[in-house]
Amino acid sequence: MPDATRTADIAAPPSAVFALVTDAARMPEWLPLCTRAQVVTDGPLAVGSRIRAHYSQGGHDGDLDGVVTELVTDRRLVETFHDDLFDLHATFDLVPGPDDATTHLTQTLDVHTKGLRGRLLSPLIARELPAQADRAIAAIGRLATG
């Protein structure tokens, strides 16, 4: 099961970082493989909200159906996404810095492959996931401070 955990200290308050990572429409700005994403349930983002994300990687396009499984305003977001190849569990933990104008962000990605194709892709996912996590957390930092 490929996984990656990355941390960053971001020069923005937790509310700004949280607003960014909980805005599905902005996901393609910080997650390069994501070409579009949207919340498909009505109302504000909450536990149980459903998200549809489209991705493109290595000539393969696909849709991930996701659900918010945990949400603590300005502190924690946990989402689970599914398609026919894998399940992705994404966790964002935000801790205020000493001056409340900074955020210590921890992003954890766990991928559980499914089926023969998923198992065959597992080594590739394991190799690529750390770099994807690095790019994502760096982009979140840039966007939250810009």
d(CA 19, CA 22): 5
What are the structural domain ranges in the chain? 3-145
Q: Give the CA angle between residues 29, 32, 35 to the nearest 5°.
A: 75
Per-residue pLDDT tens digits for 12-25:
999 999 999 999 99
The confidence score (pLDDT) of residue 53 equals 96
Q: What are phi and psi of 138, to 5 degrees?
A: -65, -40
- pLDDT higher than 70, residue 134: yes
Quote the DSSP letter at residue 23.
Answer: -
Per-residue pLDDT tens digits for 40-94:
999 999 999 999 999 987 777 889 999 999 999 999 999 999 988 889 999 999 9
Per-residue pLDDT tens digits for 106-132:
999 998 888 888 788 888 888 888 999
User: What is the percent of the chain with per-residue pLDDT over 90, rounded to a whole number?
Assistant: 72
User: What is the percent of the chain with per-residue pLDDT over 70, rounded to a whole number?
Assistant: 99
CB 76 within 8 A of CB 91: yes
Token pair for residue 98? 């000493």
Strands (E), 1-146: 3-10, 34-39, 50-57, 60-72, 76-82, 86-96, 103-113
Predicted structure pTM score: 0.92
Is 3-145 assigned to CATH 1.10.150.530?
Answer: no
- pLDDT higher than 70, residue 29: yes
